[in-house]
Structure 1
Amino acid sequence: MKKFEEKTIQSQPIYSGKVISLKVDDVSLPNGETGKREIINHPGAVAVIAITENNKFLLVEQYRKALERSIIEIPAGKLEKGEEPIVTARRELEEETGYTSDHFEFVQAFATSPGFADEIIHIYVAEKLKKLDIPVDLDEDEFVELMEVSLEEAEAMVADGRIYDAKTAFAILWLKLKMNI
């Protein structure tokens, strides 16, 4: 048994879309009471810490409708059904940056919003980047601007709020620790 486990009594699907689905579960709580949990199911995602030969890394700026603002992030995207995370990592690096690599290393996976969503994001580092001869098209509804920044520049972007998401903040911390080794 899992510590503090909440067993599902019944589950009611509410919405099923292109990226997420939403359900409401009635659960049995550890104290014997019952509760409701609103849960978003997400297929998972991958993000790439892409390090250039001159020890800078690639970021993309894009508009995020859920936040009603543009933010600067590491390249990332959702897993397609049945797709291995490393395949997603390569695809997203190529689509969003125009670079590829044969040198991907898994860093870590973590839950993005465990209070209400099951999304897991897999983080990879890509080194020895190569510019693609023929760029890969972005998704038809995706618009990004590529940036190459130093660790110090990225830290300043966290401080001024341009970098605003957890996966990118994690990437900056990871880079800082890696470069200090």
Structure 2
Amino acid sequence: MGWTMMGSEVLHEGPFMTLQRDDIVRPDGTRGVYEHLVARDGVRIVAVDGSSRRVLLVEDDFYLRPERVLHLPGGGTDGQEPREAARRELEEETGYVAEALDRLGVIDPLPSTTAARTHLYLATGLRPGTVCRDDTEIGMTVTWWDLADAIEAVRAGRITEAGSVAGLLLAAQGPLAGLLG
């Protein structure tokens, strides 16, 4: 890697993230400071119906965004293995349980800011479960979208959340490619 941490200081510690300042030696040998966020990994789930032509999307309010955000279900791993966190998040947010969860990939949405990764899954064989949202998800809504319309929403800038963009495009070019005529 070439980077060496000489020391570290916690600037702020909260329930979901920590702001940390590290004293470092860069690959070229110079000393410096690197500030970054320490956060849990996340998951996003492309949940498809029996025909795989429709995907589940959620829309929610986020404090830092002035408009509602349309995205795939998902959230933090909360210390669980990513696959188990994906199962939990899908049911909590949408009320659906997946018979199968297949890994689509992983992304590093902000690699210069945090080491947290987003794990992407394809969920099939959906059956009813129980919605159990936390206080930040009270206004969340769940809708079924035609897969082609969801991909167009990515292209048009309507779906912009990094894990949702990557998950939808990976699914559309991989396991669901034959459904986009």
Question: Same fold by TM-score, threshold 0.5 exceeded?
Answer: yes
Report the TM-score when normalising by structure 2: 0.90
**Helix, strand or coil: the match of 1:101?**
strand
Residue 37 of structure 2 is aligned to residue 27 of structure 1: no
* Pairing 1:68-107 to 2, within 5 Å after superposition: 68-81=66-79, 83-107=80-104
**1:164: which partner in 2?**
160
**1:59: which partner in 2?**
57
**Deviation (angstroms), 1:141:** 2.3
**Helix, strand or coil: the match of 1:60?**
strand
Aligned CA-pair RMSD: 1.5
**1:152: which partner in 2?**
148
Paired residues of 2:44 and 2:167 also in contact (CA < 8 A): no
**Helix, strand or coil: the match of 1:64?**
coil
Structure 1 residue runs without a partner (length 5+): none
Matched length: 175
- Structure 1 counterpart of 2:36, one-letter code: I
**Deviation (angstroms), 1:163:** 0.6
CA displacement, residues 75-119 of structure 1 (integer Å, 9 cap, x when unaligned): 0110113x1212211111111111101211122122121011111
**Larger displacement relative to structure 2 (32-41 or 64-73):** 64-73
Residue from 167, 170, 176 that aligns with 2:172: 176
**1:139: which partner in 2?**
134
Q: Distance in 2 between matches of 1:7 and 1:67?
A: 36
Q: Percent identity?
A: 26
Paired residues of 1:151 and 1:175 also in contact (CA < 8 A): no
Structure 2 residue runs without a partner (length 5+): none
**Deviation (angstroms), 1:9:** 1.5
